[in-house]
């Protein structure tokens, strides 16, 4: 009795579960024609070889680092979330299988901080000028970027799409058209949802890209994912329409009311109390801890002149505060740059270069790395589903 070819380690029959598959009639006709022309080859052998080839390719694909292009990268908060391999408040956030191959920002000090931490030099140039000069962005699997948000922010002048900066998302569109990634993630402030039909216009512009993308958006609260900050941000997600795979927002791990089994929100006290200098001296062993605004208190009626709450997540860390960064809950001084980094969920080995005012802008503009990590985990799941479907 012919037992057929020896089983490969990657053979479907060696995976522990019985599998059923079907061969389309047109493929079966080609298979029979091939075997008629090659009588030494049995149908079962041809099918087994094809399945083994597929499994090898599938296994290789699942282990491949997915290439990421990052725009408006700032100091690298979103990039760190996608790269992973960092620790924060005793928790480890591993690499979810991504590699950032291109980063860009116009802010000099942010690029300096980015290169210092990632050992990767970002392009320090206006992205429009970079593209207009004929430069090519490398092919990638994912495009991420937090296009400038001040013109959509409630705290800003809310010029929205009427300003040149408000139209910078169109440069992200150009990059997506150039690289044709499987998925892209664009981040912006919650105010984008309150500025007339700005969000719909942006989503429609992204939807006009060829090849077509399915566009959705999600409003995420950073505190719901273990970030000690009540920061809400809009994430616009585009997935290739030809993939037929859906993207789902990350499931919250924390909650203000933890009665449903989730962990309670992380408080300001849990995030920064070990940094407080009870003896009056600054703990200079932590990067950026000695940098803080000396601006006097202009009265609690003005933004940024109140102490943060000790037993509650910190407020949104702002980039543009002109020295009026919130006071520590002990009310002795304003928050240091390191305390802002902690509230933004950056690891302690992340250093911001430049003056205190430049450092405040960098941390305020950043996407919380822990929140970005949860998004990257969902993006990886998207690719895993796509690979299984294939």
**What angle in degrees, to the nearest 10, is found between the helix axes of 43-63 and 25-37?**
120
- Distance separating alpha carbons of residues 332 and 278, to the nearest angstrom: 10
The number of C-alpha atoms within 13 Å of 297 and in the hemisphere containing its C-beta is 14
**CB-based contacts of 183, cutoff 8 Å, min separation 6:** 141, 142, 143, 237, 238, 239, 240, 247, 379, 382
**CB-based contacts of 145, cutoff 8 Å, min separation 6:** 70, 71, 72, 73, 78, 172, 184, 185, 186, 187
Considering the candidates 75, 111, 140, 149, report the single residue annotated as catalytic: 149
Query: Reduced to 3 DSSP states, what percent helix, strand and coil does the chain have, rounded to the nearest 5?
Result: 40, 15, 45
- Distance separating alpha carbons of residues 338 and 362, to the nearest angstrom: 12
Any catalytic annotation for residue 75?
no
- Distance separating alpha carbons of residues 252 and 139, to the nearest angstrom: 32
- 8 Å CB contact between 65 and 142: no
Q: Report, as residue numbers or ranges, the catalytic residues.
A: 149
């Amino acid at each position: 009795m012919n037992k057929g070819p020896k089983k490969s380690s990657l053979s479907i029959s060696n995976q522990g579960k019985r599998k059923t598959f079907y061969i389309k009639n047109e493929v079966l006709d080609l298979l029979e024609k091939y075997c008629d022309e090659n009588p030494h080859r049995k149908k079962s052998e041809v099918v087994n070889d094809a399945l083994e080839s597929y499994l090898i390719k599938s296994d290789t694909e699942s282990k491949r680092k997915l290439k990421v292009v990052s725009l408006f990268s700032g100091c690298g908060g979103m990039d760190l979330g996608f790269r992973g391999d960092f620790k924060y408040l005793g928790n480890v956030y591993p690499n979810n299988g991504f590699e950032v191959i291109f980063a860009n920002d116009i802010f000099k000090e942010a690029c300096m901080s980015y290169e210092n931490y990632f050992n990767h030099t970002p392009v320090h140039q206006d992205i429009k000028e970079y593209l207009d000069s004929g430069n090519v962005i490398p092919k990638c699997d994912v495009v991420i970027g937090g296009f400038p948000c001040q013109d959509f922010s409630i705290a800003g002048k809310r010029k929205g799409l009427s300003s040149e900066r408000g139209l910078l998302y169109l440069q992200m569109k150009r990059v997506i058209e150039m690289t044709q990634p499987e998925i892209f993630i664009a981040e912006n402030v919650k105010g984008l949802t309150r500025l007339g039909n700005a969000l719909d216009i942006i989503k429609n512009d992204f939807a006009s890209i060829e090849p077509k993308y399915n566009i959705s958006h999600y409003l995420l609260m950073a505190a719901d994912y273990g970030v000690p900050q009540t920061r809400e941000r809009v994430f616009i997600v585009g997935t290739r329409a030809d993939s037929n795979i859906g993207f789902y927002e990350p499931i919250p791990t924390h909650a203000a009311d933890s009665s449903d089994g989730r962990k309670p929100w992380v408080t300001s006290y849990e995030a920064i109390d070990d940094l407080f200098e009870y003896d009056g001296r600054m703990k200079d062993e932590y990067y950026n801890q000695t940098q803080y605004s000396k601006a006097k208190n202009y009265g609690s009626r003005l933004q940024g002149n109140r102490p943060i709450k000790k037993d509650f997540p910190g407020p949104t860390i702002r980039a543009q505060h002109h020295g009026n960064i919130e006071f520590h809950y002990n009310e002795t001084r304003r928050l240091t740059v390191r305390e802002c980094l902690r509230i933004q969920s950056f690891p302690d080995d992340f250093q911001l270069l430049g003056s205190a005012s430049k450092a405040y802008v960098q941390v305020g503009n950043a996407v919380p790395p822990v929140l970005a990590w949860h998004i990257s985990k969902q993006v990886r799941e998207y690719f895993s589903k796509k690979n299984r479907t294939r």
